Amino acid sequence: MRHRWIRGLAGLLAALMLLSSGLSAQDRFPDYDTGSQDTADDGGHDDPRYPDEGGDGDNDDWKVPAIVAGVAALALVGRWLHQRSQEHSMSNDDAMMKRLQRQGPVFASLYNTSAFAAIGVVRGDWPFVLNFSHEAPVIVTLRLSARDVPDIYTFRLPFGSGEIGQHRLQFRLPPAFGASERPAAIGVTATDMSGERPAPSFRILALGCGPRAVGSVAIEEVSFLPRRIRAQAQERASYRFFSHSAFPRAVAEFVRVEEAIDGERQFFVDEAPIGGVAAGRSIAPRQWDGRDSFQRVSPGTHRLKVRAWAPTGGWVTAWSNSRVNVMP
């Protein structure tokens, strides 16, 4: 797979668009409850959720949209960012900041990787990194909204048929994001060249912000093997990763993935605390038994997702390219 680099967006800041309070075409969509969860399985049992999904900062103002249907997710992410840009509650931001320092970047328990939202710490002049791959022409849009930043900062970049492969987008946030760390709403969408339909071949590989997040991508070489395990036979998957930076806290997440014509859908299954990770080292191999947070076998295809962060200085999230198919 060919790698392409887009570095130091001083030149690409010309592509930066400051959106007014008007919504874009993909945002003008019927109302959705930002807390709704469009699950593919309504089997009458509880689905796994993050252990501390409640708590500081988890209120209607900051609730991350959770929906897997691609076209609806495109609209919902845009609407959520617009709503966040209108909020100016210092107390809610302070509560969310404490949560981010304690628990790291926030994602929904389920989302479509062609249109998803997250919450992470940002600061003016901090480096931001986005690593992804695609197998067809795509328009990738990254949007950020934070308190005291009056507009939604938007980077919209097309990648044509001659640019298929893996890409790393790295740039510095504008000074408008402030001289102190603060929570920001982050939206990533990938569409076909019409800008209207989700791009099903888009794969998110890494997302991060801050000095600890870059210098390559701070977390890489994310390994998740073998390709298949039988959970009932006590077979286990092994995982590890390399960290360029030191992080006092890190968590491994296991997410079930479903391929769909509107984008890859990811569902939280379970997580395993890793603790601190040292700079310039790989963690010792660890294992996963193929079960969810309720100790039920989680059949299907899974990816590994690693979140690493520090109370100050930045955070990163990285996904494995490799997948493990869990058999009953």
Backbone phi, psi, residue 26, to 5°:
-75, -15
Q: CA–CA separation, 283 vs 312, rounded Å?
A: 22
Question: Residue 211's CB: how many other CB atoms inside 10 A?
Answer: 15
Through-space distance between the first and last CA atoms of the chain, rounded to whole angstroms: 33
The pLDDT value recorded for residue 147 is 86
**Can you give the residue range of the structural domain that contains 70?**
3-327
The tally of domains found in the chain comes to 1
Contact partners, residue 246, CB within 8 Å, separation at least 6: 212, 276, 277, 278, 279, 310
The pLDDT value recorded for residue 50 is 66
Contact partners, residue 36, CB within 8 Å, separation at least 6: 65, 66, 67
User: What is the chain's pLDDT, residue by residue, as a tens digit (328 residues)?
Assistant: 444 444 444 334 334 333 333 334 344 333 333 333 443 443 445 777 666 554 444 555 788 988 878 788 888 898 898 888 776 677 789 999 999 999 999 999 999 999 999 999 999 999 999 999 999 999 999 999 998 888 899 999 999 999 999 999 999 999 999 999 999 999 999 999 999 999 999 999 999 999 999 866 899 999 999 999 999 999 999 999 999 999 999 999 999 999 999 999 999 999 999 999 999 999 999 999 999 999 999 999 999 999 999 999 999 999 999 999 999 8
From residue 122, alpha-carbon distances to 94, 154, 227, 237, 317 in Å are 14, 15, 36, 34, 14
Question: Which among 230, 296, 320 has a CA at the least distance from the CA of 41?
Answer: 296
DSSP 126-174: -EEEEEEEESS-EEEEEEEEETT--SEEEEEEEE-GGG-EEEEEEEE--
The pLDDT value recorded for residue 17 is 38
The pLDDT value recorded for residue 52 is 57
Question: Residue 70's CB: how many other CB atoms inside 10 A?
Answer: 24
